Amino acid sequence: MNISVIGTGSFGTSLSMVLNDNNNRVMMYGRNQDTVQEINERHTNSRYLKDIKLSETITATASLKEAAAHAELLVLAVPVNAMRSVASDLNGYLEELNKQVLVVHVAKGLELNTYKRVSEVLEEVFDEARVSDICVLSGPSHAEEVALKQPTTVSTASLSEEGAEIIQDVFMTDYFRVYVNNDMVGVEIGGALKNIVALAVGALAGYGFGDNPKAAVITRGLHEIARLGTKLGANPLTFLGLAGMGDLIVTATSQHSRNYRCGQMLAGGLTLKEATEQMGMVVEGVNTTKAAYELSEQHDVEMPITKVLYGYLFNGISEDEAFTALMKREKTSESEGLKQLLESQIKNSK
Contact (Cβ atoms closer than 8 angstroms) between residue 135 and residue 167: yes
Long-range contacts, 123-131 (Cβ 8 Å, 24+): 123/159, 124/84, 125/84, 125/87, 125/88, 125/91, 126/87, 126/90, 126/91, 126/94, 127/91, 127/94, 127/95, 129/100, 130/91, 130/94, 130/95, 130/99, 130/100, 130/101, 131/100, 131/101, 131/102, 131/103
- Measured CA to CA, the distance from residue 188 to residue 229 in angstroms comes to 9
Contact (Cβ atoms closer than 8 angstroms) between residue 116 and residue 110: yes
Lowest mean pLDDT among 17-21, 107-111, 237-241, 266-270: 266-270
What confidence score (pLDDT) does residue 348 get? 57
Sorted by where each starts, the structural domains of the chain and their CATH numbers stand as 2-182 (3.40.50.720), 185-349 (1.10.1040.10)
Write the pLDDT tens digit of every residue in 177-221.
999 999 999 999 999 999 999 999 999 999 999 999 999 999 999
Which stretch of DSSP H or E encloses residue 179? strand 176-180
What confidence score (pLDDT) does residue 331 get? 62
Average pLDDT for the chain: 92
From the annotation, which residues make up the binding site for substrate?
Answer: 108, 258-259
Lowest mean pLDDT among 148-157, 168-177, 280-289: 280-289
Lowest mean pLDDT among 68-72, 163-167, 278-282: 278-282
From the annotation, which residues make up the binding site for NAD(+)?
Answer: 7-12, 143, 258
What confidence score (pLDDT) does residue 320 get? 76
pTM (predicted TM-score)? 0.92
What confidence score (pLDDT) does residue 128 get? 94
**pLDDT > 70 in the chain, percent:** 93
Q: Is the pLDDT of residue 11 over 60?
A: yes
From the annotation, which residues make up the binding site for sn-glycerol 3-phosphate?
Answer: 108, 139, 141, 194, 247, 257-259
Nearest 5 degrees, angle CA 138-CA 84-CA 189? 30
- Measured CA to CA, the distance from residue 195 to residue 190 in angstroms comes to 9
- Measured CA to CA, the distance from residue 16 to residue 320 in angstroms comes to 44
What confidence score (pLDDT) does residue 342 get? 59
What confidence score (pLDDT) does residue 324 get? 74
Average pLDDT over residues 151-167: 95
Q: Is the pLDDT of residue 53 over 80?
A: yes
Q: Is the pLDDT of residue 103 over 90?
A: yes
Residue 194 known to be catalytic: yes
What confidence score (pLDDT) does residue 255 get? 87
Average pLDDT over residues 122-146: 97
DSSP annotation of 47:
T
Q: Is the pLDDT of residue 260 over 70?
A: yes
User: Where do runs of H (alpha helix) occur along 98-243?
Assistant: 118-125, 143-147, 161-171, 184-206, 211-231
**pLDDT > 90 in the chain, percent:** 82
Residue 169 binned pLDDT confidence (cut-offs 50, 70, 90): very high
Average pLDDT over residues 254-283: 89
What confidence score (pLDDT) does residue 283 get? 87
Write the pLDDT tens digit of every residue in 319-343.
777 777 666 666 677 766 555 655 6
* Total Cβ atoms within 10 A of residue 207: 16
* Total Cβ atoms within 10 A of residue 22: 16
Spot the catalytic one: 194, 214, 290, 307. 194
What confidence score (pLDDT) does residue 338 get? 58
What confidence score (pLDDT) does residue 347 get? 60
